Amino acid sequence: MVCNNTKLIPNSLFGMGNPLLDISAVVDKDFLEKYGLKPNDQILAEDKHKALFEEIVKKFKVEYHAGGATQNSIKIAQWMIQDPHKVCTFFGCIGEDKFGEILKQKADEAHVDAYYYEQTEEPTGTCAACITGDNRSLVANLAAANCYKKDKHLDLKENWKLVEKAKVYYIAGFFLTVSLESILKVAKHASENNKLFTLNLSAPFISQFFKDALMEVMPYVDVLFGNETEAATFSKEQGFQTEDIEEIAKKAEALPKVNKKRPRIVVFTQGKDGTIMTKGDKVETFPVLKIDQKDIVDTNGAGDAFVGGFLSELVQDKELEQCVKAGHYAANVIIRRAGCTFPEKPDFH
């Protein structure tokens, strides 16, 4: 397999987002109800959720995993690629604390070239993953992740050099709540240099409450990722007047685009149902790998893993069908394990 990777150089794939430490536990329905959580959702923590982070640790058996959507995807991409190390770069903001040290160590173990902006005003961000059955409700307390500053980190000469080295860029929609100006700087660089800029719809609340920021970035998006719930919300918010996922994909593909050399590609996953992808004026469906319900340990991270697998092939200029296949493979591996974790080596061809 190594022969395919000879043209890959370090820092070819760039990600920027919210680095969070996941605190994950199997909880009960009462816990969800107490904090007004839907079984399958992603939200930002409000005041009423403050106690949740303490209670989940006291009441349930928790596991700590390095998380944050973009960081997960970047890590999975590096794992799929294996060699050389540090093909993947990650930028984000953490605190100078124990959780921050864990994130640094985990990025290092995953051979990701992570450059964190470290500050002392806020502690490292956390995300409570409240698992019931094969659902997961995510409550993110961004804290330090919310403190990322373009002028304090992205604009620094040595950091911007790393951005310029990349040929594929990935940012989860979650980062739109943190630093739109950082996203736009990266997106414009990609567009002006005919490189690939990819974005994830990430969660329904992004399309609902950060619509303006999302649509400011959309003209630069070459590949748009999302799942069926996010696609439906996006359609509603954009007035597409359709709930048909293929139609939504076509309409998203047709939104205005700055770099006309590349048609936009839209990729929507649908859990155990097939993944759909636009290709020219066609929409294709790709079945996911079959898995026995009893083998599913934790679906948290499945979407991130899909994107990581997809990007690992995209950065090697592989066919889009192969990118989807790699995405399905990575997701299939991840859901058999707790957290967004993976075995030592992938077995993907």
Say how far apart CA 229 and CA 235 lie, in whole Å. Answer: 10
d(CA 86, CA 18): 19
Q: What pLDDT score was predicted for residue 253?
A: 98
Distance (Å, rounded) from C-alpha 76 to C-alpha 122?
27
pLDDT band at 212 (very low <50, low <70, confident <90, very high): very high
Active site residue 304: yes
pLDDT digit string, tens, across residues 267-281: 999 999 999 999 888
What's the pLDDT at 134? 77
Residue 176 has pLDDT above 70, yes or no: yes
**Residue 6: pLDDT above 70?**
no
Please compute the mean of the pLDDT values over residues 225-240 and round it to a whole number.
Answer: 97
d(C-alpha 140, C-alpha 153), whole Å: 23
Work out the pLDDT band at 155, boundaries 50, 70, 90. very high
Going across the sheet that includes 282-286, the strands are: 113-119, 88-95, 13-16, 168-172, 196-200, 223-227, 265-270, 273-279, 282-286
Q: What's the mean per-residue pLDDT of the chain?
A: 94
Average pLDDT over residues 112-139: 94
Q: Are 88 and 170 in contact (CB under 8 A)?
A: no
| Whether the predicted pLDDT of 55 surpasses 70 | yes
Specify the pLDDT at position 135: 85
Exposed/middle/buried for residue 71 (C-beta within 10 Å: 0-12, 13-18, 19+): buried
Provide the H-helix boundaries in the chain: 29-34, 50-59, 69-81, 98-109, 157-165, 180-192, 204-209, 211-217, 228-238, 245-253, 302-314, 320-334
What percent of the chain has pLDDT above 70?
98
Contacts of residue 93, defined as CB under 8 A and 6 or more positions apart, other chains included, come to 19, 116, 117, 118, 119, 144, 145, 146, 147, 148, 149, 153
> How does 95-117 read in b/e, with b if 16+ C-beta sit within 10 Å?
bebebbebbbebbeebbbbbbbb
Give dist(CA 226, CA 256) in Å, integer: 18
Confidence check: pLDDT of 9 > 80: yes
Confidence band, pLDDT 50/70/90 cuts, at residue 136: confident
How much is the pLDDT for 1? 39
Average pLDDT over residues 101-118: 95
> What is the pLDDT averaged over residues 6-18?
92
Nearest Cα to 73, choosing from 258, 339, 310? 310
User: Would you give the distance in Å from CA 129 to the centre of its chain?
Assistant: 15
Helices 245-253 and 228-238 cross at an angle (nearest 10°) of: 60
Q: How large is the average pLDDT for residues 33-47?
A: 94
pLDDT at 316: 97
CB 237 within 8 A of CB 205: no
Q: Which of 222, 273, 304, 317 is catalytic?
A: 304
Mean pLDDT of 69-76: 96
Pairing label, strands 13-16, 223-227: unpaired
pLDDT over 90 (residue 342):
no
pLDDT band at 3 (very low <50, low <70, confident <90, very high): very low
Amino acid 338: pLDDT: 74
Q: Tell me, what's the pLDDT at 299?
A: 75
Give the pLDDT band (50/70/90) at residue 337. Answer: confident
Residue 212 CA, distance from chain mean position: 20
